[in-house]
Structure 1
């Protein structure tokens, strides 16, 4: 929140400003929802220290132009894909399963995630964890020239 030093809280009035912080990071495009010809969201992964590919984020729905770009660059994942047969939850605390397709681990993408501040710890906690998953909206930003 942003406010003047001498500006008191005024119930029912919007005089303070809310500022959101965003960070960008990269991850491997490991899966998609929707069809291979028109992906809806991206499933992004990172390798942990043991070499296992971990899900770190699912993007918000892609814009039409981004769907076209991704569709041109993805190749279906084969039987050796590390997530073959793995199931993902539709959302936090739900029992529904996400219908997704694994893709070849060749494309690195940049994504944008919100950050949050934990006042109790007086530290900034990024929505991007080294191996954990994000709990805030993650948006596809662009594909990179990097490939695996």
Structure 2
């Protein structure tokens, strides 16, 4: 069998609001940390590595360090599903990953990428998607057993109490782990299906940046909306965002010329000259706080069409 087609739609997760019980999924639950990274698949064929994003885009050129290591370490005929991560200042930094994909090529010696593997879809040219997760996990550990950085296998546990402890520790230490992904040990791999579960630390959701307040290259707060059949419904304005978030947003928004909708200005509660409409392409994750909407992080890996009613990483 030839290698499965590049551009495969990955299996997805749907959000839940509490930690699932151990018997809630087929074969029992297994709990894994959800890293703040970029979903990707590695394809090894003919001694060459290609990397695709979860949308099927070829992002191989953005990760030469991963490619070089894979072409030495990984066997031909494997397809591995996982998460690309970059360690930043004391935490995994999603924006560092995103800058590789959207920005100019530059040396990555000070911010090397890693690949956290969590599923094996093909090995020795055998399609494993119909095998139970427990079997795929055993084979993944065999493929990566002797491999060190930049490859690692995601930690997992079948003990719900231990998973709950992980939630406490990851949240307390704030190292760039967003929550847990929960999977059924007997589950097969279903491309495009939301057969896994995802529990975030915070009750958060996605919205689209429709306008910014202040300098567009470093805005102080954001006016948000959600897509509808006729445009966007405005949902609110964030509380002041951090300096790092200002930089992250400023790199990813583009001002839209023309007058700003008075409804946007009113929602921003700012002088009209200080409010700038932007092209509604940047997705952000927000959470409700006593002071208003809090920006959790930017989500440039998502498109506006993925915001209304759907959720994934």
- Structure 2 length-normalised TM: 0.29
- Write out per-residue CA displacement over residues 61-103 of structure 1, whole angstroms, 9 at most, x where no aligned residue: 0100100111111111145xxxx53122255xxxx75531011
Which runs of 5 or more structure 1 residues have no equivalent in the other structure?
Answer: 1-21, 116-135
Secondary structure of the residue that 1:66 maps to in structure 2? helix
The answer (yes or no) to whether the contact 2:222–2:237 under 8 Å persists in 1 is yes
Segments of 5+ residues of structure 2 without an aligned counterpart are 1-201, 305-313
Q: Distance in 1 between matches of 2:246 and 2:212?
A: 10
Taking the TM superposition and a 5 Å limit, the aligned residue runs for 1:80-91 are 84-87=259-262, 88-89=265-266, 90-91=268-269
Instruction: Return the structure number with greater relative CO, CA threshold 8 A, min gap 6.
Output: 1
1:35 aligns to what?
A: 215
By percentage of residues, which structure has more strand?
1
Report how far residue 114 of structure 1 moved.
Answer: 3.6
Match of 1:137 in 2: 292
Counterpart position of 1:63? 242
Specify which of 21, 37, 47 is matched with residue 227 of structure 2. 47
Kindly indicate whether the alpha-carbon contact (under 8 Å) linking 2:260 and 2:275 is maintained by their aligned counterparts in 1: no
Q: 2:287 matched to which residue of 1?
A: 112
Maintained 8 Å contact 1:28/1:46: yes
Residue 260 of structure 2 contacts residue 276 of structure 2 at CA under 8 Å; is this kept in 1? no
Structure 1: how far apart are the matches of 2:206 and 2:280?
13
CA RMSD across the alignment? 2.2
When residues 100 and 68 of structure 1 are mapped into structure 2, their CA distance, relative to the original with a 3 A threshold, is same
Q: Partners of 2:255 and 2:245 in 1: how far apart?
A: 18
What corresponds to 1:72 in structure 2?
251
Residues 117-136 of structure 1, C-alpha deviations (whole Å, 9 max, x = no match): xxxxxxxxxxxxxxxxxxx6
For residue 147 of structure 1, the aligned residue among 293, 296, 303 is 303
CA contact (8 A) 1:23 1:114 kept: no
Distance 2:235 2:260 in 1: 18
Greater helix share, structure number: 2
Partners in 2 of 1:97 and 1:46 — Cα distance?
23
Give TM-score, length-normalised by structure 1.
0.58
Structure 1 residues 15-26: aligned runs within 5 Å: 23-26=203-206
